[in-house]
Amino acid sequence: MPAETVNRQWLLARRPNGQVSVEDFARHDAPMPRADLAAGEILVRNLMFGFDPAQRGWMDDAPSYLPPIMIDEVVRGSAAARVIASANPAYPEGSMVRGLFGWQDYAVAARAGDPDLVSIPEDIAPEEALGIFGAASLTAYVGMFDVGRLRAGDCVLVSGAAGAVGSVAIQIARLAGARVLGIAGGAEKCRWLVEDYGADAAIDYRCEDVRARLGALAPDGIDLFFDNVGGTILEGGIAHIARFGRIVLCGAISGYNDVRGAVGPRNLMRMISQRAEMCGFILLDHLDRVPAAMADLRQWVRGGQIHYRTDIQHGFGAVPQTFLRLFSGSNQGKQLLRIDGTE
Amino acid sequence: MPAETVNRQWLLARRPNGQVSVEDFARHDAPMPRADLAAGEILVRNLMFGFDPAQRGWMDDAPSYLPPIMIDEVVRGSAAARVIASANPAYPEGSMVRGLFGWQDYAVAARAGDPDLVSIPEDIAPEEALGIFGAASLTAYVGMFDVGRLRAGDCVLVSGAAGAVGSVAIQIARLAGARVLGIAGGAEKCRWLVEDYGADAAIDYRCEDVRARLGALAPDGIDLFFDNVGGTILEGGIAHIARFGRIVLCGAISGYNDVRGAVGPRNLMRMISQRAEMCGFILLDHLDRVPAAMADLRQWVRGGQIHYRTDIQHGFGAVPQTFLRLFSGSNQGKQLLRIDGTE
């Protein structure tokens, strides 16, 4: 740990040009944040970071649902933290919280500026708060039930199915009585889908013809496609969408780092002939559903009905390369980093 | 006119390879259809054909909402016809009907095999039955109101806006109190949009930067995009879609004749950050709305609130080249052909 007067930070040094790299970030030592908290504010000590592909989008200078991260600004990101000073009775000193505290040791936060700020109950560990009970699982929940109108008997396809969102989406679909197909990269991840998450079948996009396999596995078409990938994977799903099928756009990781922009699905005519719909969504529009989602997830997780993986890296100095693991697909489940004694 | 024992036909000679051409069709003289009608059937004499880009899709050997036209089969298409023999009291001999009677002089039809078969009231001319009161206008109506949930105050964009569907979509949006932008090809069509159809602005995709113009004309984004074109035009609309915007996919004429398939929009991430939806539809799913749509259309047309253009070509021999006018954009309004004395 550094001296308690220093606030270690990772800043956005430049905008990534296509593929994000460690050179896009810069280590910086800032002074401790001010201790004179305004009413409602808290001062937190980050203990663990959670990484999400959406952070890549915030690094581009483009309008989105959150403003772009500015150059030389601390990289916005999710963290589990302990409250070390509080001017907000909802988050007392000593309690644990989760929020968009950024890649730094300390942060001053308030509910108004951080839609993700929540208390972490005592029976939930930091890796659970950022992992199975984090935004990714809540995103899978509202994407499946509220946006995708998941129904028992649906044939459901999930892409990016071994990831933090996808693996929960797979299991929610199974618990709801759907038949579930998952797409992931590599034999090991495909084995997780079937053996651990209960998918009916897995497709390895690295070595299989996704479109042909979908035709064989879903001869009556895909009723609900929960897409985290975009590009040709999305195109493959559209090619086999069922009549009146629903496509939920949750992410498009295939295009995040492509300076030319993602490849677009060339078969949108199929959306017309099948009368299919496609809908983009983000969790922030569905925060009213979080209590119900948390109650269901807690019951499923504690009851052993939902399995999950976390990939915990270590050390503040490893933050950028840990983030990059998301885009090479080397993360083995939800990507986290524990801030411990190592630099 | 041919001898009354001959049924002139245009057959699909081969599947178009990319751009459809007159060589894809073959003239054939068949005998008159049998006169021994089964209960419910009618024998009709076609008087006028209506052409639609959707016919191009039916010529591909691909599953769709209607089966492909077979090689050496009469080309499926809409016609206005007189009933010359009837075994169905709903369509008495001597009355006028519209249906998918195909590119031929005579056809035997029944309601079960032809979802488009309807009586034409006496006060509606054949060119009106196939034009302003035809499937294109009904498609614009349900696409705008039922699929697109058109609301007063919306900023609405219509592509292919000078076409049979688009020109009515523009006017319906204006009548509903929306601000309307139209995209068409060429200065003359763009002038129609503003002067005849009441669009607030027109964009000429042949010589203007569609995306830049949309940014200037819709600074708060497009609430409802009624797309008939697909490809880069669709991509341009997505780039300026408003938060919670709706995209109605009615057609994708830009890709119909492209053997490589249409270009796909590369910016579907924008659908996520704007929480936008995109929905394909066809009129056949909304036939319950036809009576209401017809009542509204009739009132608007007879009251001079909706203007329309028909482009009437002549002669049975000119059928294929008349169909091709749709794809070169040379049609000046709804493309029709009157079957008269000329071959």
CA separation for the pair A337, A52 (Å, rounded)? 12
The candidate with the shortest Cα–Cα distance to A158, out of A187, A127, A190, is A190
Residue for token pair 């249409």: B262
Q: Given a cut of 60, is residue A259 above it in pLDDT? A: no
Which architecture characterizes domain B6-131+308-338 according to CATH?
Answer: Alpha-Beta Complex (3.90)
| B230 neighbourhood in chain A, CB within 8 Å | 268-269
- Tell me the percentage of chain B whose pLDDT exceeds 70: 95
A83 near A95, Cβ under 8 Å?
A: yes
* Percentage above 70 pLDDT, chain A: 95
Structure tokens at A135: 């935004």
- Gap between the Cα atoms of A11 and A22, Å rounded: 11
Confidence of residue A113 (pLDDT cuts 50, 70, 90): confident
pLDDT-based confidence at B260, cuts 50/70/90? low
Rounded Cα gap, residues B334 and B326, in angstroms: 9
Distance CA(B190)–CA(B192), nearest Å, equals 5
Please tell me the distance from the alpha carbon of residue A121 to that of residue A77, in angstroms, as a whole number.
21
Residue from B249, B267, B284 to probe the interface with A (highest A Cβ count within 10 Å): B249
Question: Is ipTM over 0.85?
Answer: yes
Name the minimum distance, in Å, from the CA of A250 to any CA of chain B: 7
- Give span(s): CATH 3.40.50.720, chain A: 135-284
The superfamily in CATH containing domain A135-284 is: NAD(P)-binding Rossmann-like Domain (3.40.50.720)
Which of B266, B274, B281, B286 best tests the A interface by mutation, with the highest count of A CBs <10 A? B266
C-alpha separations of B228 from B140, B277, B342 in Å: 10, 16, 34
Looking at every residue in chain A, the average pLDDT score rounds to: 93
pLDDT at B262 over 80: no
Contact residues of B toward A, CB < 8 A: 57, 63-65, 230, 234-235, 249-252, 255-256, 261-282, 285
Residue A156 reports pLDDT greater than 70: yes
Please enumerate in sequence order all residues whose Cβ is within 8 A of that of B143, keeping only pairs 6 or more positions apart, or say none.
B165, B169, B226, B248, B250, B281
Please report the pLDDT score of residue B59 as a whole number: 95
Which residues, in sequence order, are CB contacts of B142 under 8 Å at separation 6+? B281, B283, B286, B289, B293
Instruction: Give the list of residues 6+ apart from residue A148 with CB closer than 8 angstroms, or none.
Output: A224, A226, A246, A248
- Distance (Å, whole) CA B207 – CA B56: 27
For the residues B245-263, what does the mean pLDDT come to? 75
Listed in order, the ranges of chain A carrying CATH 3.90.180.10 are 6-131+308-338
Looking at the partner chain, which of A264, A274, A278 has a beta carbon nearest the beta carbon of B266?
A: A264
- Can you tell me the mean pLDDT for A259-276? 84
The chain B residue lying nearest A281, using CA atoms, is: B275
pLDDT tens per residue, range B90-108? 999 999 999 999 999 999 9
Regarding predicted confidence, which is higher, B225 or A269? B225
pLDDT band (50, 70, 90) for residue B257: low
A-to-B residue pairs, Cβ atoms closer than 8 angstroms = 118
Q: Which residues of A touch B (CB under 8 A)?
A: 57, 63-65, 230, 234-235, 249-252, 255, 261-282, 285
Distance of CA B62 to the CA centre of its chain: 20
What residues pair up with B50 in beta bridges, in sequence order?
B78, B336
Mutate which of B278, B285, B287 to disrupt the A interface (most A C-beta within 10 Å)?
Answer: B278
Find all residues with CB under 8 Å of A54, minimum gap 6, and list them: A251
H runs (alpha helix) in A186-331? 187-191, 210-217, 231-239, 269-273, 290-302, 319-328
B170 Cβ partners below 8 Å, 6+ apart?
B158, B161, B180, B182, B193, B197, B198, B199
Q: Quote the pLDDT of residue B169.
A: 98
Please enumerate in sequence order all residues whose Cβ is within 8 A of that of A114, keeping only pairs 6 or more positions apart, or say none: A99, A100, A101
pLDDT attached to residue A252: 75
Q: Is the pLDDT of residue A261 over 60?
A: no
Has residue A110 got a pLDDT over 80?
Answer: yes
pLDDT in tens, A304-342: 999 999 999 999 999 999 999 998 888 888 999 999 766
Angle, in degrees to the nearest 10, between helices A210-217 and A231-239: 30
Cα-based torsion angle of the residue sequence A162, A166, A172, A175 in order, rounded to the nearest 10 degrees: -30
Q: What is the mean pLDDT of residues B244-261?
A: 77
